[in-house]
Amino acid sequence: MTTIWRFVLIAFFATAVAADPIIATNFASAPFPHPERAEGHQHNNDFFSAPEHYQDSTVALYVPPSFRSGSKIDFVVHFHGWNNNVTNVLQKYHLLDQFAASKRNAILIVPQGPRNADDSFGGKLEDPGGFARFMDEAMRTLRERGVIGDAKIGNIILCGHSGGYEVISSVVACGGLTDHVREIWLFDALYAHAERFALWFDHHPGRFIDLYTEHGGTKAESENLMTALRENNVSFFAGTEGAAMLPDSLRNHLVFLSSELPHDEVLQSHRTFQTFLETSSLKAVKTVYKTGESP
């Protein structure tokens, strides 16, 4: 990560999250750099050079004020889509305030993927065992910063927006920690690899959520997957995303939600990221009241 971008990221954290604990650092196990993008990447008529788009190894770790460390640490790992970067993702989609407001006892991790590029490639996180190495480095970082003690990795939720589907599908296929993955959330992101996701939810009891839009390019793939499930007598919940979502419906094993929102608003406009957190398998932080205080 270049000096200028590190300055911008730190400045954003200072203004946007005040005193909330945030760690922005470089990981050796971060998605990039990666040999497959050493010469850059061509997409249609656009070329994305390696120095500008595939050298940033930034990883942001957000420890909400309500977090309480224990013997196991739960995580939500979010993967961004095309033409994005960590600073913009955290700010534009209000991930930090939604995460804090959910009061889930977990840590949010957002790695830098292809920086501001038309590319879904997940770099080292698509390599066999790459996600396990990444999470090991995350645990070491948190220990070194005094956030956790001698804890182990607990439950993991993988979520992604748009092109983030690619790296998630690789993580559950060969990342090395599939048994720790309890949920997968796709925010208008089911463009391909439905078979990988189906293999995961066929063999794991955790929740799979596919939120799709009318014009985001994911509707056909989502409808095809639902058709296949019906043909195989697999039950699932299908509904409309929005304020009327019932928590019990969202706790189904398989959840498909159509949204009328634009593609780039599905995470934040209805605070859906927070809703998914609040209905997830993650434990809520218990509020401890002092003597004489009332709930």
Q: How far is the CA of 242 from the CAs of 163, 188, 260, 261, 295, in angstroms?
A: 22, 14, 9, 9, 29
Confidence (pLDDT) at 223 = 98
Mean pLDDT of 32-60: 98
pLDDT band (50, 70, 90) for residue 226: very high
CB of 157 within 8 A of CB of 133? no
Residue range 91-139, pLDDT digits in tens: 999 999 999 999 999 999 999 999 999 999 999 999 999 999 999 999 9
Both structure tokens of 248 = 């019990």
The correct answer on CATH 3.20.20.70 for the domain covering 3-278 is: no
Confidence (pLDDT) at 167 = 98
Does the model's pTM come out above 0.85? yes
DSSP assignment string, 210-230: EEEESSSS-HHHHHHHHHHHH
Which residue ranges make up each domain of the chain? 3-278
Confidence (pLDDT) at 287 = 61
Q: Give dist(CA 92, CA 77) in Å, integer.
A: 17
Residue that has been written with the tokens 């209000």 in this structure: 94
Parallel/antiparallel/unpaired status of strands 181-187 and 207-213: parallel
* Comparison of pLDDT for 9 and 138, the residue scoring more: 138
Residue range 235-281, pLDDT digits in tens: 999 999 986 678 899 999 999 999 999 999 999 999 999 999 999 99
Q: Give dist(CA 227, CA 241) in Å, integer.
A: 19
Alpha carbon 121 to chain centroid, angstroms: 15
Residue range 182-218, pLDDT digits in tens: 999 999 999 999 999 999 999 999 999 999 999 999 9
Parallel/antiparallel/unpaired status of strands 207-213 and 254-259: parallel
Distance, first Cα to last Cα, the chain: 45
Residue range 92-102, pLDDT digits in tens: 999 999 999 99
